[in-house]
Amino acid sequence: MVRLPLVLLAGALWLQVAVASAQGGGRAVIVAPVVESELYDRIEALGTLEANESVVLTANVNERIVELAFQEGQTVSAGDLLVVLEQDEEQAMLDAALAVLAERQSAFDRTQQLSDREFAARAQLEERRAALQQAEAEVEIIQARLRDRSILAPFDGRIGLRQVSPGTLLEPGDPIATLSDISVLKLTMTVPSRFLSEVRTGLHIRATTNAFPDREFEGTIDVIDTAVDQVTRTITLRAVIANDDGLLRPGLLMTAELLSNPRSGVVVPEEALVPLDRRNFVFVVDGETADATVSRREVRIGTRRPGTVEIVEGLDAGVRVVVHGTGDLEDGDAVHVIGVADGETAIRDILSGG
């Protein structure tokens, strides 16, 4: 395929426009329809991801690890057994305490039967009751000690890298591994306090990260801090982002767009705007393709987004505006429409006949 120099290609394009203009009896233009679209005001913010829940697994006793009942990276459920510590002594103490409890239960039952038949004094029954309650308390104390030697998952999550091995002698507070719930992530970010009136819980956000440049993640504002930072004059927001596919990780930096003030409005391509001083105009096409004129209208613009601009006042959906060929156009000029840029066909393709 022969590639023409850019200058020659541009000349060919303008020649085609001139021919089309001569055939139509007016200036050749390309138009685009004014369409209605869902619009938002965008507030940009930077934030850091945090796990929905995260805890460092530790022991609260001084004991040796007998078993690690998990694998690194494993997904666990709340209540799953993760670590077993040495507990032979406590188990023996429990067996002895249960034997004492059984003996005192039997003694209490016999005394109660005699008391019901008035063969035993009331004081003796109360003494047996106190002894039984003491035995029950001893069993509960030893069972609590045993529970301290079995570490369970406090919530559903995924285990990170472990810091210990079986046989390690733990001291209270020594880290074993980190358990994190990353099915949902929290994005903590700050925005200038001037946006306070525009942010609210439930507000929709879109976020991106350099780790996955082709992905866009969606979430909602969950919490707005109760105070404005007195130094930076910013307010802290926290959004929640679903992480069903597990791609995101706590600690990632994300760029977020807060989509405030949702509304429906009309938009035109940016190329349709003709600025003059501090005002903006568009050329509206009246008539059919080969026999049309243009009228210049002043418009008031709103929010901008890549390639399009909101028209707050001056245009209604459905009309056509000139997006190419506005140079030297005057109100009432005759034009010849050579194509419609509808979002699927680029202006360059229309000019080249593509």
In this structure, are 47 and 185 located in the same domain?
yes
In this structure, are 155 and 69 located in the same domain?
yes
pLDDT surpassing 80 at residue 216: yes
pTM given for the model: 0.66
In this structure, are 342 and 273 located in the same domain?
yes
In this structure, are 254 and 294 located in the same domain?
no
In this structure, are 162 and 70 located in the same domain?
yes
In this structure, are 187 and 235 located in the same domain?
yes
Identify which has the larger pLDDT, 319 or 288: 319
**In a domain? residue 320:** yes
Structural domain boundaries, residue 208: 43-52+181-263
pLDDT value for 101:
92
Residue carrying structure tokens 């039952």? 109
Mean per-residue pLDDT, 312-340: 85
Whether the CB-CB separation of 241 and 187 falls below 8 Å is answered with: yes
Q: Around Cβ 232, how many Cβ atoms within 10 Å?
A: 11
pLDDT value for 10:
42
- CATH number assigned to the domain comprising residue 346: 2.40.420.20
Q: Residue 26: which residues within 8 A CB-CB, separation 6 or more?
A: 292, 293, 333, 334, 335, 336
In this structure, are 214 and 155 located in the same domain?
no
In this structure, are 268 and 310 located in the same domain?
yes
Query: Can you say how many angstroms the Cα of residue 113 is from the centroid of all Cα atoms in its chain?
Result: 67
**In a domain? residue 343:** yes
As a whole number, the mean pLDDT across the chain is 86
- Give the pair of three-digit tokens for residue 348: 């360059």
Give the best-scoring range by mean pLDDT among 114-118, 193-197, 253-257, 297-301: 253-257
How many domains does one find in the chain?
Answer: 4
In this structure, are 234 and 268 located in the same domain?
no
Dist. CA 217–CA 234, nearest whole Å: 24
**In a domain? residue 303:** yes
Identify which has the larger pLDDT, 158 or 294: 158
Instruction: Read off the pLDDT of residues 70-104 as tens digits, 9 standing for 90 and up.
Output: 999 999 999 999 999 999 898 999 999 999 999 99
In this structure, are 190 and 231 located in the same domain?
yes
**In a domain? residue 67:** yes
Which residue from 177, 191, 240, 202 is spatially nearest to 51, judged by alpha carbons? Answer: 240
Instruction: Read off the pLDDT of residues 245-292 as tens digits, 9 standing for 90 and up.
Output: 889 999 999 999 998 888 888 888 888 888 888 899 989 988 776 678
pLDDT surpassing 90 at residue 1: no
Boundary of a domain, candidates 198, 232, 263 = 263
pLDDT surpassing 80 at residue 6: no
**In a domain? residue 4:** no
In this structure, are 186 and 208 located in the same domain?
yes
pLDDT surpassing 70 at residue 8: no
Q: Residue 316: which residues within 8 A CB-CB, separation 6 or more?
A: 34, 266
**In a domain? residue 13:** no
pLDDT surpassing 60 at residue 176: yes
